[in-house]
Structure 1
Amino acid sequence: MRSILPYIITLVFLCISCSNSKNVTQIEISETAGYDRVLEYVNASVSVERELAVEESILLTNVEDGTSILAANINSNLEMYQHKYDIIFPVKIGANQTNTYNVSIVNGEKSKTLKSKTILSEDNLTIDNLSYKATFSTEDDKRGGQVNGIVLKDFNKQLLRRGHIAMHWAPNFSKTSSQYYFNLEDLQAGSKNEIKNDIYSVVKERAGVTDSVPEIRIEGRYEFYADLPYFLFESTMTVEKEVELNLLRNDEMTMDSLFTHLTYTKKDGSIESLNLYSDELDKLEVNHVTDDANWLAFYNLDKGYGFASIRLQYDNTNMDGETSPIHNPYTKITRSSNNGRYWNRVLSDTIQKFPVGSRYYERNAYLVFNVDSTSPEKEIVYYYNCLKNPLKVQVKAGL
């Protein structure tokens, strides 16, 4: 995997070699799950003795090897006697290793020459990193803004999409009085639609209600990071007024005829692979992919690319701490029009009432991966293990 770390480290040394710095705290990063991490992004909250000036930045220096890197400030909590900054920064760390970073305030004026490796277009509709280019839908974007398509840069710019609708179509639901179902594409005009970017990431947040089912509030959040082959998405559906639905789903990706196979994890931990365009798929009509499967993916065995959903969190707890109503939950793999295929997690597929306070949450990583000829799921398993076992972060203040 190509990494931005060597470039940023070199630039930082050039930018700050003559700057004065003061050590204010330390951050200890530990890998405890036994996996080499080529690139991960770490979030931490650090306290400093004063508010940072506009031209200042937070620098992290590895105690072991002396390399340094700038952190991106993503939030601040400034009080009279305490100044806290939420920061994000990239790390590389070996299996079962611990790295310690000194945290300093430096004159960061020249660091503005560092260019983001996750590029947001001027119209906020395209996000570029080294692995892919993701586009948001342009159908009245003020009302929507879900991922519309993904260009795979390492596979001859192959475009993943669903020709007539957005590729990402979740969460979604349908009222019994309607033949249509609705999602983030259908939020009312004026709903929350915010996008923020820094040198390492782009975050897009959507929230509101739809015209047709105003009883349900939807919240969605995308996170895109430099050099990583995946992006994160989380959503919450909250019932604010009792409503009768005939369909409730999340984690839906719908695509044209771009793949040859499906692979997924079973309850016993084993891995199953099926041909998407043969009778093999019929077995899923009875033996479904479970609603809580660790991951699933479509891949093209001939062209060597794949696209996966790694399920990081899945929680149907309501506002009172009890289980929200579901019916026949499973992961559905669907043969669609024009030979398309899609997956989604069915939460309910029958007519039923959903009381106030019902809530449905998901957090997934959507991964572009290389298909190994002998073990197609090899990269999925690696990223699943890394994402489910995040690095341990400890802030040691008062140094």
Structure 2
Amino acid sequence: MKDSSIYIPACDWDSTASLPQSLPNWQYAKRLVLVNDTAHDRRGEPVEADVDIHAGHITDLGREVRVARLSGENGPIEVVPSQVHLMDREDELLRCRLFFLADVAAGGSATYLLLYGNPEAPEPCYDTELKVSGEGYALEVENEYYCAVLGKMNGNWKNHYSKRGPAELVNRHGHGVEGTIHWGPDWSDERVGRYRLTNWDGPPLFDYDVIKGPVCVRIRRWGHPILSIGPQVGRPHKVMATVTYSFWAGQPYVVMESKLEVLEDVRFRDCRNDEFVIGEHLPERAWMGPEGEIGFGARGWQREDPRWVTHFNRETGEGFGSIHLEFENTNPSWPQPAHAGFSHTGTWVRYPVQHAAMRAGEHVYERNAYLLHRYEEGGEHGGLADLVDHQERLTSPITQGEVAPAPKSINLDNVMDALRSTSKGRLGGSASSVLSISASSRRSSSRAATSASISSCRTRGAKPG
């Protein structure tokens, strides 16, 4: 899982006693300013942040943490749905992933507080429409817009049902051990055939982990794609595949990330990703090209990647599109996909490479949002304004703003916070200055200057690499 672009370091905390709001029982607060530079209001916007917390500041991570929106510097607070998960522990530092839903006005900003340090806090209970059922990786996930079904054997996205119309995106042309609408990623060599993760028939052919909560459900699977005749044939050990699905409360899209990692030198005939087969309910096709132009009908691109592709139905007004958020191929010969586009079978697919020598350490990565959207005959953007609106939002997410530093007292914990923030991150030459601060903190004549300098780690802490 990639690091989040939003990060709150361990040193970035205040005592709740220093805040103007009355927050009984909670001892600590971290402040997060979110900025919306777009012309779109954000309501219930998914936010994902990496947060470091001192282990000594909290007793039970899942039970104690609350996220609250601050109404003005001295105004009241409103607790919002959230969830937090421990990702790693380093000495006495908890490295966490925080999920919550934020409201930020167009062209504006909003401040949120992360509250913790309350051993008597009750279990949080948030009423969102995100629901999950099933066991292990074979889950059904639904919200107000859809119900998504994952395969019982290979865990790929099998079916997708709209709650706003009659469309049923079910696979009728599948390969592998069970048919699925999502086929990739896969790769083929020039000797024995295609290695697919749709050929998985359950662990131990792959590993998985699952994050569940009221805001986000995330399923990650990883393993070696295999030939249809089994894992003992060919060279599956040379490539590792990882696929992650993220389902959010209140959003009509699902975010999918995939990565093919080359573990040993191997020659690809080709590889494929962003490959969907969605049946006949959505017979029309549309796309936004690399320069932002919108077109209709099937087409393909060579060494270019469209911004989005979609299938839709003019009669029902339903559509299902792939919004391309990130694409990365570290093979120097293929910075852009070899080919992307539609086929005649109700499929879209991307071929990142063709006939390429892939070296150990290279990878192919994608992140896309798959959106149930509306089509309106005669409307803006060729009737695809809903899809265009979501593409603009997803490619211009809300960002992290500056937080005014709060002075800290001179003690070993605070000096170590400052050192920890600079030793692993992106503050450039400031690490040496903090080292000198640590030494000067032993001299009483420099205490005031040291306190002000230590607080500087609050402005945008250095993120661990």
Same fold by TM-score greater than 0.5: yes
State the partner residue of 1:10: none
User: 205-214 or 215-224, which moves further after superposition?
Assistant: 205-214
Task: State whether structure 2 residue 368 is matched by structure 1 residue 357.
Answer: no
Residue 130 of structure 1: SS of its match in structure 2?
coil
Q: Distance in 2 between matches of 1:59 and 1:79?
A: 24
State the partner residue of 2:419: none
Q: Map 1:267-286 onto structure 2 (within 5 A).
A: 267-274=290-297, 281=298, 284=299
State the partner residue of 1:174: 188
State the partner residue of 1:5: none
Please state how far the C-alpha of 1:111 moved relative to its aligned partner: 2.5
Is this contact kept in 2: 1:297–1:309, CA < 8 A? yes
Residue 196 of structure 2: SS of its match in structure 1?
coil
Q: Map 1:185-200 onto structure 2 (within 5 A).
A: 185-186=199-200, 189-190=203-204, 191-200=206-215
State the partner residue of 1:59: 67
Q: Map 1:1-399 onto structure 2 (within 5 A).
A: 20-22=25-27, 24-44=29-49, 45=51, 47=53, 50-53=57-60, 55-64=63-72, 66=76, 67-75=78-86, 82=93, 85-105=96-116, 107-109=120-122, 111-112=124-125, 114-115=126-127, 117-123=129-135, 124-138=138-152, 141=153, 144-156=154-166, 158-165=167-174, 166-183=180-197, 185-186=199-200, 189-190=203-204, 191-209=206-224, 210=226, 211=231, 212-214=234-236, 215-274=238-297, 281=298, 284=299, 288=301, 291-318=304-331, 323=332, 325=334, 329-336=338-345, 341-349=346-354, 351-373=355-377, 374=379, 375-394=382-401, 396=403, 398=406
Please state how far the C-alpha of 1:81 moved relative to its aligned partner: 6.0
User: 117-126 or 48-57, which moves further after superposition?
Assistant: 48-57
Please state how far the C-alpha of 1:167 moved relative to its aligned partner: 0.3
Q: Distance in 1 between matches of 2:202 and 2:358?
A: 21
Amino acid at match of 1:224: F
Aligned pair count reads 358
Is this contact kept in 1: 2:69–2:110, CA < 8 A? no
User: 214-223 or 76-85, which moves further after superposition?
Assistant: 76-85
| Residue-by-residue CA offset, 1:180-203 (whole Å, 9 max, x unaligned) | 452354388422122221121111
Please state how far the C-alpha of 1:395 moved relative to its aligned partner: 7.0
Amino acid at match of 1:137: G
Residue 310 of structure 1: SS of its match in structure 2?
strand
Amino acid at match of 1:345: R
Is this contact kept in 2: 1:308–1:380, CA < 8 A? yes
Sort the Cα spacing of 1:213 and 1:23 in 2 relative to 1 into closer, same or farther, 3 A: same
Q: Distance in 2 between matches of 1:299 and 1:376?
A: 11
Residue 288 of structure 1: SS of its match in structure 2?
strand
The answer for unaligned runs of 5 or more in structure 1 is 1-16, 275-280
Q: Distance in 2 between matches of 1:80 and 1:207?
A: 28
Q: Distance in 2 between matches of 1:181 and 1:78?
A: 36
Higher relative contact order (Cα pairs below 8 Å, separated by 6+ residues): 1
User: 296-305 or 55-64, which moves further after superposition?
Assistant: 55-64
Residue 134 of structure 2: SS of its match in structure 1?
coil
Q: Distance in 2 between matches of 1:356 and 1:176?
A: 18
Q: Distance in 2 between matches of 1:256 and 1:110?
A: 43
Is this contact kept in 2: 1:39–1:92, CA < 8 A? yes
Residue 392 of structure 2: SS of its match in structure 1?
helix
Q: Distance in 2 between matches of 1:273 and 1:290?
A: 20
Sort the Cα spacing of 1:335 and 1:309 in 2 relative to 1 into closer, same or farther, 3 A: same
Is this contact kept in 2: 1:184–1:218, CA < 8 A? no
The Cα RMSD (Å) is: 2.8
Is this contact kept in 2: 1:60–1:71, CA < 8 A? no
Amino acid at match of 1:52: T
Is this contact kept in 2: 1:116–1:198, CA < 8 A? no
Amino acid at match of 2:134: E
Q: Distance in 1 between matches of 2:216 and 2:393?
A: 19
| Residue-by-residue CA offset, 1:121-173 (whole Å, 9 max, x unaligned) | 132421111111111112xx2xx2110110001113x2102214210011112
Structure with greater Cα Rg: 2
Q: Distance in 1 between matches of 2:210 and 2:329?
A: 27
Q: Which has the higher strand share?
A: 1
Is this contact kept in 1: 2:66–2:79, CA < 8 A? no
Is this contact kept in 1: 2:239–2:264, CA < 8 A? yes
Is this contact kept in 2: 1:291–1:345, CA < 8 A? no
| Residue-by-residue CA offset, 1:286-328 (whole Å, 9 max, x unaligned) | x63764211111111111111111111111114xxxx155897
Please state how far the C-alpha of 1:78 moved relative to its aligned partner: 5.3
The answer for unaligned runs of 5 or more in structure 2 is 1-21, 175-179, 408-465
Q: Distance in 2 between matches of 1:310 and 1:377?
A: 13
Residue 257 of structure 1: SS of its match in structure 2?
coil
Please state how far the C-alpha of 1:19 moved relative to its aligned partner: 6.0
Please state how far the C-alpha of 1:104 moved relative to its aligned partner: 2.3
Is this contact kept in 2: 1:266–1:289, CA < 8 A? no
Is this contact kept in 2: 1:265–1:296, CA < 8 A? yes
Is this contact kept in 2: 1:307–1:369, CA < 8 A? yes
